Structure 1
Amino acid sequence: MTSPNDAAARTGLPHALQAMWAIVARELAKFMRQTGRLVSALVRPLLWLAVFAAGFRNVFGVAIAEPYDTYIPYDVYIAPGLIGMVLLFNGMQSSLAMVYDREMGLMRLLLTAPLPRTWILLSKLVATAVLSLIQALAFVAIAWLLGTELPVWGPQTPHVIVAAVSAALMLGALGLLLSVHIKQLENFAGTMNFVIFPMYFMSTALYPLWKLEEAGADWVFQIARFNPFTHAVEWLRFALYDKDPGMSPWIVLGTLALCFGVASWGYDPQRGFGALTKRG
């Protein structure tokens, strides 16, 4: 027979944290077995850094703008955006993993565990953020070896960590939300093309907002202003120089809360997987 103490142990905070660690450890173990995953995640931003940035190394420098106090080479400017690219693509990759687990029945088993559904989804989100940050740290290290040094270490380090963790969680929550809508793996590529590329190119990852406004690209400028990915990149960029990021943290955290809340609602078994899309 099960004693009341055993039942309480399975419903308390230690049990919940143990379950979260189990989910995170599972994702880490999968990541360690997939050796090509880290390589493929780093090839894309490193190509941008080593090839694209090299061709436009001195393009950025026509004006000094916050958070920079002096002229900087173009590769230093786009490095925070490329860190954002790593976080963005891993967040979307987590969406693919969720769809796969759902098709294989693993998510259904996981969601029937004796824990709040929100906690299980939060655990998946934390696992996604941990993997994103590992890949981002690997990118920063390789970028340093290539000659692009970022001011990561110093008094600003806690601010950088908070910005990076928040951005990873926000983009992971977006991937979690998309996994509600994507019913089959075959639909993943098309959906991602309508999310990843607009979010990345219509942001400040590759060029500052004032450049867009100066060029007269008003509609791109307005989209970039309200793009949550822009604010994730800007928060990280300003954190590296320990400057005030303005409203960016609030927009990132607000988007995180919104995406996670809607995703949790979408994974309600009373509605079923992908119930949101049935109404469209």
Structure 2
Amino acid sequence: MEKITLSVNNLKKVIGKKEIIKGITFDLKEGEVFGFLGPNGAGKTTTIRMLVGLIKPTSGTIKICGFYIQTHFPEALKNLGCIVENPELYPYLSGWNNLLHFARMLDGIGEERIIEVTELVGLKERIHDKVKTYSLGMRQRLGIAQALLGNPKVLILDEPTNGLDPAGIREMRQFIRFLAEQEGLSVLVSSHLLSEIQLLCDRVAIITRGTIIKTDTVQHLLSNREQVEWHIHPLDKGKMILEKLTKVEVKDDGTLLTEFDQTQIAEWNKQLVYEGVEVTEMNRKLPVLEELFLELTGGVTID
């Protein structure tokens, strides 16, 4: 049975007379990476601030590892680590002294745990250097080390790849997957990089105008959305033949798109050739999360 580490139920937030968050519900499971996506102003940051205890919900509940934030705040937050926006670090101190400073704020966290998280995030060789000499990726890793000091079960990362170059993004993605798969953490990731979310996350929640409109596994969201791109001649004749067999979309460049049906694709190709249509190229077009996102949000771009 899958263990639920974070449970959000009918969460609402009203500021003034405006309802910002309109009763959202979702769960995080142990050992999964959960993507939190939404266009600018959708309510992602407001939700995250409620999850980490920075602002209070108007109604609804947040439960972390069995403890409700509203009634057992210290116990709930003990199981939570987070980086909201950018990690706050002291650049004139070494990485070690930064972690030592934050460890002093936690009960029972000593140098042994600092050594553990330093090794976990791969900063062992540079931990005694001043943070101002760190690259952006190293600072992100140090920030995650800080969030992991208390040995939390849930980790919330707001835009963890923001500002990183492609190599840094790939490295961060691999590290987050490691934390989930090898360390058993539940990781909630807010991001505007849809291609990264597709590669990184097990499940995603898409939020717009304060409402979650879809929550599912990435695989299931994108299943049945694969297509085949056909390069054929003559186009009109080929289109007419395919339309008798399946739904057809004509692209601006003169190619055709059909669904990908593994049981029928060879038969469709055979039918085209049999009726004198030249098939010069067939490409399997894999679905992307960006297309689904734009479709679900009515074309609203992400922040």
Specify the structure having the higher radius of gyration (Cα): 2
What's the TM-score once normalised by structure 2's chain length? 0.21
Q: Which has the higher strand share?
A: 2
What's the TM-score once normalised by structure 1's chain length? 0.22
